[in-house]
Structure 1
Amino acid sequence: MDLLSKLPIECLQLIILVLVQDRQYGAIAALLQTNKYIASIALPFLYENPYRKGMHCYISTQKTRSRGRSDHALTSMLLHQLPLDALPPAISYLLETTNPTPPKPLDYGACIRHLCLPSWALDLDYYWPHGRYYREALAYMKGTEFTQLCRDHSLLPCYEENLGTGLDILRCHFQAIVWRQACWTLAGPILEQLQSLTIPVFDLDRYSAAISRLGNLEHLEFALDDIVDYSEEAYFGGDWVMSPRFESEIRERKERQLRTMVQFVRGHAQLFPGRLKTVICSDAEMWPDMHQTCPVETKLEMLRILPPPKSPTFLSKANFLHVSAHLQSTDLSQVQEITDMESPPCLWYDVHRDGRDFLQRCRALKSIHMDTLGPGSFAWAVQEKQDMESLGSNCHNTNSGVQGGVGPPSLQESRPAYLEHGLVPLEEFNILESDDPLSDEDDNVVFAFSQTLKKLTITAATYQERYIPRILQVGGGWVDLPFLTTLYISAAWNRLSLDAQLYRHCPNLTLASFTDNTIRYRCRDITTCFAAELPRLVELELNGWSGLTFHPATLHSTVALKKLCIEIGRDDVDAYFIPPRTELNRSFESDPTGMEGDGGDGDNGGAPIQVAQEGSRMRRPKWTWNWYLPQLTSLTLTGEFAYRFQFRMLQGCPSLESLILNMRLTDRSEQFTRVLSRADLLMPMVADNTGEEGSSSQEQLYKQQEGEAIVAPALKVVKLVGPWVIGDELVVQFFIHMLPSLTDLEEDGVTGYTLEKVCEVLRSMPSKIEELSLSLPEPSEESAKELGLVGEVYDDDENGDDENDDDENDDDSEVGVGDELEKETELKLCLCLEGKRFFLKKEFPSDIV
């Protein structure tokens, strides 16, 4: 540290600045403990904004609790720095301070520039844990002086019904008063140096009287701490009911406070023109069930007094009000991101309606998350693209825009924005359907930003006042999107119909997800999309109509695919519709079963598939189930896709770790029962067509006759749901040979095998299985003993111990019992039968043998 102390101030400041940028506040705090020279340099960096987010989280990994404790300690320390005679009685009693404190070696208050004291930084539970009140403080709270103080602070008795009785009411009132007094006590001596300040609205008159001292104030927060907004829980929660007179008084008081806030901002602007940059209003969060609000009209009135934002780089709910208050005078050319426009919901539409060129002025826009605005929202972008193409100026894109400043000023002013700055470089577009239904937004955005768009998200309305099913058409007006990597479309209450060419427009997709509300369907309505080449696709999630219209030949190109999910129905429904067997079988080309393919890419691998009828025959492409997907780790199929699944697909998925097949039926029909045979677990016989005599050995001939056994070497987790039938004769082949790495199997509704066979195989064959969840009935005590099964024992509380203690120790006690049981009986694995856990012994009991 001696060498560090010899560094010039400028060097030390640069070092500490790097720590601030990395949010290494703990390291800066450690410098305060070195020597006075280093501490005096580090202190301004640490306490410039003492209540900033993340300031104290380094103390503990439990960030929320740590920050709360640290902010309490910080507030206490800052208040202790002040002279005793400067502290109001309530704060003195809170701090239990009765004697003057000695002067501190460092003046922390002199370093503060941003003072935003949150109300919860003075929580009484920190100062008086477990209700242990300071004796003098409790006497003060019950005295006449404090009673009068409550009246002066307008702590109305009508609210007391929400606080409880007696001491609870005193605590709440005391905390409100202490927080208001602490805000002024800390701010009063240093008003001249403050750049940011939180002001309790109830105490605004005191700050107004000192407004001439706030010459450096740039950021102002009005904390709405007075009870002027009453919720139904507050005044209907008890016997008290708000009278018309009281309601009128409350309304007048709120209007008076709002006028005072506007006058304060106007007064500051007159004294210090252009100094105040931002004004926000927030609930002080002091009163349960009492959310205090400020009308949007009042916020806009205050923001219009301020200067417009200076070249914002983003628009969100944090600054959109300010921008909308100065819509025409704000420079939007540097805006790169628009997001969180849901608050307040109506303002987004008003701004767009009043200034139709609003989005067009954001020339640097790269990302936008927005609600629908109606047809023509991006017509300007389409026009710019068409104009640019008509001029033969395709080079004037995002990366090589035409530079301004050429020619005389009159000519320069008349040049369109896209000639000055290039086309808008939009990369991410996320639109949510709200009051205005989706119209031409996706087509226009895709056309206008086809050379820059990387991520596209479309979310149709997630709820409707009146449920009216509709078909959401997507992709009909799309062009090629060479840079698009992420495509997410959700139509929760609709049917999502993808254009047949959509996949071909997006050759570089890495993630594609399509979801809709398709639950029941007719095969003759299905129009299959074109097969496409998607070599970079990593995740493919198809839920609903998109799965039915997907061309399976596309999977021959998805060598990078890691996750494949094709489902029918909603997440909250674990049962699926499958069309009648005759209809389903006839819907597949030249495939009487609708399940078995004959290898290769299948017919129509690269040609459009049209739904047609020849008599009563409908056509869909064959699913060959022979794709090579070397990186696939997760596969989920439900409904007809699970029913038609062929296990030979596993042979081409050497990295597969998780398999879910759910064909639980809505109508419990027996016609869709999948009875597995030995042939289902073997690869189809492949004839030797080499034409060389003697090329077939005895082993090759055997493989041709019997087929090669299917093996999924990495598959660990398997879930089978629905009417599957696996006979005892297949248990060894299914559980052991085909799935050598299986650790977790869950089945529900599977029949055909017996518990005796499972126990026999698992005990005699080497496997990695740790847990099986089976739908077999729970065995009797005698049967369990014969099978070598030991039921899990729970340590019931016979003495009726405290319920809370039981809750806290439930998990630990259960684990402990399981561990002890396994150790004593040398158990191998766990079987869950009808919700009860059994452990399988490695060897049969000697008396059974």
Structure 2
Amino acid sequence: MFFTKTRASAPAAAPAPAPPPPPVRPQSRLVPELLEMVVLHVDDRFTLHSLLLTNRLLFEAAAPRLYADPFRYTRYSPRSCMRLFKWILTISPSTRPEVETARVELGVVQLPPYQPSSASPTAKQSNKPPGPLVDYLSYVRHAKVQFSDLIDIDTNRNFKKMMAPVLPWAICEDGHFDKLISMSIVSAHADQFLTSVPSMKSLKSIYWDPTPYDKTRDMAAIRRFVEAFVESHSDRDGRKLNMYFECDVEDRGDKMNFVIPELVDIYRLLDPLPSSKNSIMTSNSWMRCLAHKDSMDFGKIQKIDMIPDKELLSILPRCHRLESLSCGIGVLSSRIFQWAAEETDTAEGDDDSASTAVMPLKRLRSNVRRSIVKRTLRDLRAGFDSTLEDLELSIVKPTLGLAGIEEEDEEDGASPEYFNNARVIRFGPELNFPKLRRLAIDGTSCQCFLVIDPDSTFANMLHLETLKLEDPSSSFSDPDRLSDTQSDASSISINSTSIDELHLVPCEAWYLPRLRELELHGASASQFHPETLQWAPGLERLVLNMKSTYLKIPRLRSNWTERSWAWHLPVLRHLVLAGPGAFLINLAALQMHMPALEDLTLIVGNTDENTGSLSAFLKRGDRASTGSFTTSPLAHRLRRLRFKGRWKMMSLDLVALLDGGLFSDLTELWIAHIPWILADLAIDRASHHPTLGLFWMCTRGGYMDTNQRAETIKSLKLFPLKERPKRCPTHHLVVGLDRKWYMKSCPQPIA
């Protein structure tokens, strides 16, 4: 037998060991950490509140961020304030009787502070109720919040009404405010924060709300707080604390006369302002300046903004470099600027005029009584005619005399004029400031008409760029609020002078060659001469508000239709028309006479005759006059178009407006009071516009049933009106429903 010898097989090699799997972090820890990073960058109270109502993971990510600074992320409404108040009482360690009483009255049970558990994530998860988290108080123990995380305390008026007596005790007892940067509290509660003053290592500013005033208690409490703060933080220079008080610029009588000296004395406990901030004195810094008056150089002040009249009068003659002044009625009533006029006369006869130079006042904003308005203007012109560039006056009613009778106007012996039971003030040479660039006069509060003589007023005002005049008619929105004598008068004389001479804007517009902005309201907008705009080639912004004019003056509708839009304004960029002018605008004239127009706002009133019809408005842009809508583009540079008021519209109007034929380059469109039944059509057409990025729409009810309205709102995301986004992505539409703002994505991004 033949045997073959077989080769012994080699032992099989052992398989290579598999690499260890990468460590996998539990999802319960990974997801919240990622969400916390996202929430950290969101920093939006509406989004954070929405996350609290969604699910467990989003709640765990948003709650620590939201409750780290509860005063910041609270919507200041009574309901949200009460929710925050309950939450603070729930986790507060305070056992004071006031706090316990508040807990009992509100049905709040105190919870122990949150303690991180060493148990496994599974065991920890089992302690939490499943499902959406919609009740804040039930999950407070998982919010990981301590009052040491507070960076701001703001007890505004809503808080003061419901929790002022209890809130400070609830958060201050055994409290540590290491991260607190600013606080705004009632001055009467200063003592309640004394025990926490040593822990306020980061506090930089504090605002004391002075109402209600308690002459002795409030000032003494504030002094004790400041003394304790300076003593506790002497190592970090606690004397640099910034304090703010609310003090009206008008005279508040004995209360302010008593409080101001006390507050100034308290400010002496702190350091004076640094020299770099001595050039501006505002309502927040004037007390500190007066407290250190000996070391303060008032000659360096260049701007004073709204400080009490009595203190301003004491320092004003020492401010030789003052350029900007905003003051109350008491300053101009005291004839303080008569000193400037007398100093100017002295300087003219002095060889060394530099030693008696008047302050270079360039900007003045103030209230002035009707009885002294012309006298004040004469004083201003005598002292500052070579420097004043910006003048804004609001004329107020004269004060009552001892017998309860209004003071008579000082008109140099001239008998007062009246129109529609309102005073008429005629301005002449006293308004002739050669370097004036901006002039604004408001006569609405004192119910007086402003009549300006163009020959004597604008003869030398060659640099005027902005002119704004408001008369009493601009303050009335409903003619029924006036008496029959006022509303039914078709022609009223002013001392045998017809109303046609009540021109508030000069006809000789060539006296204003540099005019850039013109804003007229009420009768002043209805009565101006059309040639005023014809000879204003540099006008960039025009506002004509005839919406609230209650005077039944001779009809100007025919004039508006025939000749108003023959104005050639080559550089006009912003146009606002309210009233009949908005309805009668001729779109065909925009491209020819206003080629640079970028922003157009048209407003019609509820009580206007022939309330704006969108159909008639669009047909005015039809160059072929065929009665149908044109597809030729108008106003190539127009980017923003706003329709405000109750415009009458149909579906065909929206189709013609949003199809891109008339306005092909629009980026923003605002349409108010769209019927509910046309809301979906408007959104659909706007979403397909070639260039439209923002579409603001406010709808009115009455045309959509409950089911349709619910379906429309169901897919929209809530944005409250006060927080509407300033800029939205181009693939979003913004619409307004029931005074709320919502956002809805378009079918596809807009190029």
The 1:380–1:562 alpha-carbon spacing in structure 2 relative to 1, beyond 3 Å, is same
CA contact (8 A) 1:498 1:546 kept: no
CA contact (8 A) 1:160 1:169 kept: no
1:316 aligns with 2:282: yes
Question: How far does residue 560 in structure 1 lie from its aligned partner after superposition?
Answer: 1.8
CA contact (8 A) 2:281 2:301 kept: yes
Aligned to 1:32: none
CA contact (8 A) 1:531 1:552 kept: no
CA contact (8 A) 1:372 1:436 kept: no
1:165 aligns with 2:117: no
After TM superposition, the score normalised by the length of structure 1 is 0.45
* AA at the equivalent of 1:202: Q
1:579 aligns with 2:532: no
Aligned to 1:445: 380
2-structure distance, mates of 1:509, 1:372:
25
The 1:530–1:732 alpha-carbon spacing in structure 2 relative to 1, beyond 3 Å, is closer
User: Out of 467, 480, 489, which is 1:512 matched to?
Assistant: 467
Aligned to 1:655: 596
User: Out of 494, 497, 503, which is 2:450 matched to?
Assistant: 497
Aligned to 2:365: 430
User: Out of 192, 211, 229, which is 1:202 matched to?
Assistant: 192
Question: Helix, strand or coil for the counterpart of 2:358?
Answer: coil
1:349 aligns with 2:309: yes
Aligned to 2:323: 366
The 1:158–1:339 alpha-carbon spacing in structure 2 relative to 1, beyond 3 Å, is farther
Aligned to 2:625: 730
User: Out of 326, 338, 347, which is 2:304 matched to?
Assistant: 338
CA contact (8 A) 1:310 1:330 kept: no
- Spell out, residue by residue over 1:614-641, the C-alpha distance to the aligned partner (whole angstroms, 9 max, x if none): xxxxxxxxx6754321122344445566
Question: How far does residue 489 in structure 1 lie from its aligned partner after superposition?
Answer: 2.5
CA contact (8 A) 1:625 1:648 kept: no
- Paired residues in the alignment total 511
The 1:638–1:281 alpha-carbon spacing in structure 2 relative to 1, beyond 3 Å, is closer
1:300 aligns with 2:241: no
Aligned to 1:628: 568
2-structure distance, mates of 1:776, 1:185:
53
Aligned to 1:150: 95
1:547 aligns with 2:525: yes
Question: How far does residue 518 in structure 1 lie from its aligned partner after superposition?
Answer: 2.1
- Spell out, residue by residue over 1:217-243, the C-alpha distance to the aligned partner (whole angstroms, 9 max, x if none): 999766879xx9999xxxxxxxxxxxx
2-structure distance, mates of 1:799, 1:595:
41
Question: Helix, strand or coil for the counterpart of 2:469?
Answer: strand
Question: How far does residue 453 in structure 1 lie from its aligned partner after superposition?
Answer: 2.3
* AA at the equivalent of 1:544: G
Structure 1: runs of 5+ lacking an equivalent: 1-55, 69-95, 97-118, 127-140, 188-198, 232-249, 284-292, 342-347, 397-401, 403-417, 586-592, 598-622, 675-717, 781-791, 812-849
- Spell out, residue by residue over 1:724-767, the C-alpha distance to the aligned partner (whole angstroms, 9 max, x if none): 9999993458745694869979699999x9999x8999999975
CA contact (8 A) 2:230 2:238 kept: no
CA contact (8 A) 1:366 1:428 kept: yes
2-structure distance, mates of 1:759, 1:434:
50
CA contact (8 A) 2:240 2:270 kept: yes
**In the TM superposition, what are the counterparts of 1:705-724 in structure 2 within 5 Å?**
none
Aligned to 1:532: 509
The 1:496–1:648 alpha-carbon spacing in structure 2 relative to 1, beyond 3 Å, is farther
Aligned to 1:808: 717
2-structure distance, mates of 1:775, 1:142:
45
- Spell out, residue by residue over 1:109-133, the C-alpha distance to the aligned partner (whole angstroms, 9 max, x if none): xxxxxxxxxx98665999xxxxxxx
2-structure distance, mates of 1:798, 1:779:
9
2-structure distance, mates of 1:159, 1:265:
30
1:280 aligns with 2:243: yes
User: Out of 535, 538, 541, which is 1:563 matched to?
Assistant: 541
Structure 2: runs of 5+ lacking an equivalent: 1-36, 50-63, 74-88, 114-136, 148-167, 181-188, 247-255, 407-419, 475-486, 493-497, 679-698, 721-751
CA contact (8 A) 1:475 1:499 kept: yes
2-structure distance, mates of 1:276, 1:805:
56
Aligned to 1:257: 221
CA contact (8 A) 1:514 1:541 kept: yes
The 1:301–1:485 alpha-carbon spacing in structure 2 relative to 1, beyond 3 Å, is same
Question: How far does residue 500 in structure 1 lie from its aligned partner after superposition?
Answer: 1.1
1-structure distance, mates of 2:645, 2:312:
53
1-structure distance, mates of 2:710, 2:578:
47
User: Out of 319, 326, 336, which is 1:377 matched to?
Assistant: 336
TM-align CA RMSD: 6.7
The 1:65–1:728 alpha-carbon spacing in structure 2 relative to 1, beyond 3 Å, is closer
**In the TM superposition, what are the counterparts of 1:659-808 in structure 2 within 5 Å?**
666=607, 668=609, 730-732=625-627, 735-736=630-631, 739=634, 808=717
2-structure distance, mates of 1:268, 1:279:
16
CA contact (8 A) 1:200 1:222 kept: no
CA contact (8 A) 2:583 2:617 kept: no
**In the TM superposition, what are the counterparts of 1:638-649 in structure 2 within 5 Å?**
638=578
The 1:60–1:205 alpha-carbon spacing in structure 2 relative to 1, beyond 3 Å, is closer
Question: Helix, strand or coil for the counterpart of 1:359?
Answer: helix
CA contact (8 A) 1:547 1:568 kept: yes
2-structure distance, mates of 1:796, 1:630:
50
CA contact (8 A) 2:600 2:642 kept: no
CA contact (8 A) 1:495 1:517 kept: yes
2-structure distance, mates of 1:365, 1:67:
47
* AA at the equivalent of 1:383: E
CA contact (8 A) 1:323 1:330 kept: yes
- Spell out, residue by residue over 1:8-53, the C-alpha distance to the aligned partner (whole angstroms, 9 max, x if none): xxxxxxxxxxxxxxxxxxxxxxxxxxxxxxxxxxxxxxxxxxxxxx
- Spell out, residue by residue over 1:84-109, the C-alpha distance to the aligned partner (whole angstroms, 9 max, x if none): xxxxxxxxxxxx9xxxxxxxxxxxxx
After TM superposition, the score normalised by the length of structure 2 is 0.50
CA contact (8 A) 1:367 1:427 kept: yes
Question: How far does residue 351 in structure 1 lie from its aligned partner after superposition?
Answer: 1.7
Aligned to 1:18: none
Question: Helix, strand or coil for the counterpart of 1:730?
Answer: coil
Give % identity: 18
1-structure distance, mates of 2:672, 2:708:
32
CA contact (8 A) 1:628 1:652 kept: yes
- Spell out, residue by residue over 1:229-266, the C-alpha distance to the aligned partner (whole angstroms, 9 max, x if none): 999xxxxxxxxxxxxxxxxxx99986763563476589
2-structure distance, mates of 1:277, 1:470:
53
